Structure 1
Amino acid sequence: MNAHHPPGQTAPQDRPARLTVGVVGAGRVGPVLAASLALAGHRPVAVSAVSDASLRRAAEILPGVPVVPPAEVLARAELVLLTVPDDVLPGLVAGLAETGAVRPGRILVHTSGRHGAAVLDPATRAGALPLALHPAMTFTGTSVDVQRLAGCSFGVTAPEELRLAAEALVIEMGGEPEWIDESARPLYHAALAIGANHLVTLVAQAMELLGTAGVAHPARMLGPLLGAALDNALRSGDAALTGPVARGDAGTVAAHVAQLRAHAPQAVAGYLAMARTTADRALASGLLKPGLAEDLLGVLSDTANAASATDPADASEGPEATDDGADGGDL
């Protein structure tokens, strides 16, 4: 018996029903989840990776695990993590099923927030067991993420007969399973994107504006403020709203917009959109008095109209290339 385990407890690798694990798509998420499963006693045996960044990530997080094509991953592993971008997932699943790579009894797990278990239907018809396990966490693609999974919520969707298996895998990775109905997956993912992705944009923009205003250490200034705001919002919801919009200080809001137009015109549209949404929520919750709301919304309407009258930004540039690490499951 392993000396690190108390009497009466077996080491992870000695527990029953340990599975061989494969990863298709070595972005930020897949290798981390495979490493967390390894800590629970499962055995990573294969990973697919193409780009230099993916190959490095696989080597660092899953050292010694062979890099093979996706079909070979399915041939070697009993549990396969499909950790690819949301829009790539349906085509990948269909292709694997059409080429006969899917074998009966294989557990296929995808980590897309948007999709439920139905996206795996082509593989399910070939005998695979479909699970959707989405970690509600942003990933760096490094080993530090393994520890960050402790207590992380996972959005779980699976056929009812596989629900217990899905939840058990999440618990083994240190997470907390949260059942999401198939039809609710897009809304669930939209909520997480609003909370996490937009938060990064807002914080980065705030730091830039503070820098423009002459603040030497924007992150240091924002840290305590944003930490308190997040804690208050999680505890109290709309009741945590503060600031000029919630107070109905129309003059202050107008001054903000004027300064943004002068120093950071690219921030005006976002400020107006968030101010209007904040005003609506403050009004609905009773924080913002109707009389003050009228003046405030008038200012927001006037400034929005003024902004729309200006020349539109140049939209001729095409979309940027997808980041190599932006795989399914990474918020």
Structure 2
Amino acid sequence: MFDGFDMLGFAVTRPARLSVGVVSAGRVGAVLGAALARAGHTVAAVSAVSRESLRRADDLLPDVAIAPPDEVARGAELVLLALPDDALPGMVRGLAAAGALGPTQIVVHTSGAHGVDVLAPAAELGALGLALHPAMTFTGRPEDLQRIAACCFGVTAADGDEVAWNVAEALVVEMGAEPVRIPEAARPLYHTALAHGANHLVTLVAEAADLLGSAGIGTPERLLGPLLSAALDNALRHGDRALTGPVARGDAGTVRKHVGVLAEHAPDMLPAYRALASRTARRAVEAGLLRADLLPDVAAAIEEETP
């Protein structure tokens, strides 16, 4: 099944057209199943239980058979395990014990937190285990297919197995994305970095929108969109040199006002503001944006006691 360098019957330079089983039709699984189908593979079956997963399967994988996970995996050449991080190890063990995994299969999971060690039960049965984590957020809707083309996948294969690495990269390229190699030992730090940036960014943006809403502004997204888009672009391009605002400038009086406003109107947000402002101040000093002699006043304003 591999063109060029043969291993486990699969193609290295260009994966052959494979029969795909998707476990399960969550936001990620349904979209990646559709991306593999778009690349020419055949999605033969998908597992789906909830109303939402059944709807996603119908929208993104129409006419694909719905079956239990063991049946989905047993009939597939490529088994796509798109499961929550904590559910993945048990599913792999269960499928292996049920005889649903074996030689000549590629078993792929999409978890960012795990590498290929979690697929050891499948590897012991002769399957080729790969970790393909899309570094993007999913809605489970068709537009996600277009976003894949602009994203990277963190790919991991067994150390020293260049054939497996090539297969992982080829599958990602077929889906239209860019593969980035993540060694097994780096997966925990890799996933922590992405979660810290993406997940906490959503919380931060939502809280800023809530504050604007509390101020009576009916369309906070109109104010925040251009500002936050520019801030993100500048941060990615210039790092800490992109820092602006009262903390980076050393405007302790303004910071003190912010603390007071949050204490009065949104006290539950104040701890997060203080933590982020403190980190911002230290990074601004290290970047040469905030004069070191102004740091004590800024730090005192950040931590100032409120009534």
**TM-score above 0.5:** yes
| Aligned amino acid, residue 226 of structure 2 | P
CA distance in 1, matches of 2:60, 2:157: 28
| Aligned amino acid, residue 134 of structure 1 | H
Match of 1:293 in 2: 295
Give the C-alpha shift of residue 282 in structure 1: 0.6
Match of 2:286 in 1: 284
CA distance in 2, matches of 1:223, 1:206: 11
| Aligned amino acid, residue 294 of structure 2 | L
* Alignment match of 1:234 (pick from 212, 233, 236): 236
1:156-171 map, 5 Å:
156-159=155-158, 160=161, 161-171=163-173
CA distance in 2, matches of 1:16, 1:213: 55
TM-score norm. by structure 1 comes to 0.86
Give the C-alpha shift of residue 151 in structure 1: 2.7
Give the C-alpha shift of residue 56 in structure 1: 1.1
Match of 2:255 in 1: 253
CA distance in 2, matches of 1:32, 1:216: 34
Q: 1:296 to 1:16 in 2, by over 3 A?
A: closer
CA distance in 2, matches of 1:264, 1:151: 37
Q: Secondary structure at the match of 2:33?
A: helix
Tell me which of the two structures has the higher relative contact order, counting C-alpha pairs closer than 8 angstroms and 6 or more residues apart.
1
2:77 is the counterpart of 1:75: no
CA distance in 2, matches of 1:169, 1:234: 27
Match of 2:6 in 1: none
Match of 1:57 in 2: 56
Using the TM superposition, name which of 169-178 and 90-99 deviates more.
90-99
1:1-331 map, 5 Å:
17-159=16-158, 160=161, 161-303=163-305
CA distance in 1, matches of 2:233, 2:184: 30
Q: Secondary structure at the match of 2:244?
A: coil
CA distance in 1, matches of 2:40, 2:264: 58
Structure 1 gap segments, 5+ residues each: 1-14, 308-331
| Aligned amino acid, residue 215 of structure 1 | I
CA distance in 1, matches of 2:245, 2:29: 41
Q: Deviations over 1:279-298 (max 9, x none)?
A: 11111111111111111112
CA distance in 2, matches of 1:16, 1:151: 21
CA distance in 1, matches of 2:188, 2:303: 31
Match of 2:4 in 1: none
Q: Secondary structure at the match of 2:303?
A: helix
Q: Deviations over 1:1-20 (max 9, x none)?
A: xxxxxxxxxxxxxx981001
Structure 2 gap segments, 5+ residues each: 1-13
Q: Deviations over 1:138-164 (max 9, x none)?
A: 001011111110031000001223010
Given that residues 48 and 66 in structure 2 are in contact (C-alpha distance below 8 angstroms), is that contact kept between their aligned partners in structure 1? yes
CA distance in 1, matches of 2:202, 2:16: 40
| Aligned amino acid, residue 222 of structure 2 | R
CA distance in 2, matches of 1:248, 1:183: 40
CA distance in 2, matches of 1:16, 1:276: 49
CA RMSD of aligned residues (A): 1.3
Give the C-alpha shift of residue 131 in structure 1: 0.4
| Aligned amino acid, residue 257 of structure 1 | V
Q: Secondary structure at the match of 1:123?
A: helix
Give the C-alpha shift of residue 34 in structure 1: 1.0
Residue identity over aligned pairs, in percent, reads 62
Given that residues 15 and 171 in structure 2 are in contact (C-alpha distance below 8 angstroms), is that contact kept between their aligned partners in structure 1? no
CA distance in 2, matches of 1:236, 1:285: 11
Q: Deviations over 1:112-168 (max 9, x none)?
A: 001001110011101111000000010010111111100310000012230101000
Aligned residues: 291
TM-score norm. by structure 2 comes to 0.92
CA distance in 2, matches of 1:100, 1:240: 54
CA distance in 1, matches of 2:284, 2:121: 47
CA distance in 1, matches of 2:24, 2:40: 22
Given that residues 259 and 302 in structure 2 are in contact (C-alpha distance below 8 angstroms), is that contact kept between their aligned partners in structure 1? no
Q: Secondary structure at the match of 1:302?
A: coil
Q: Secondary structure at the match of 2:129?
A: strand
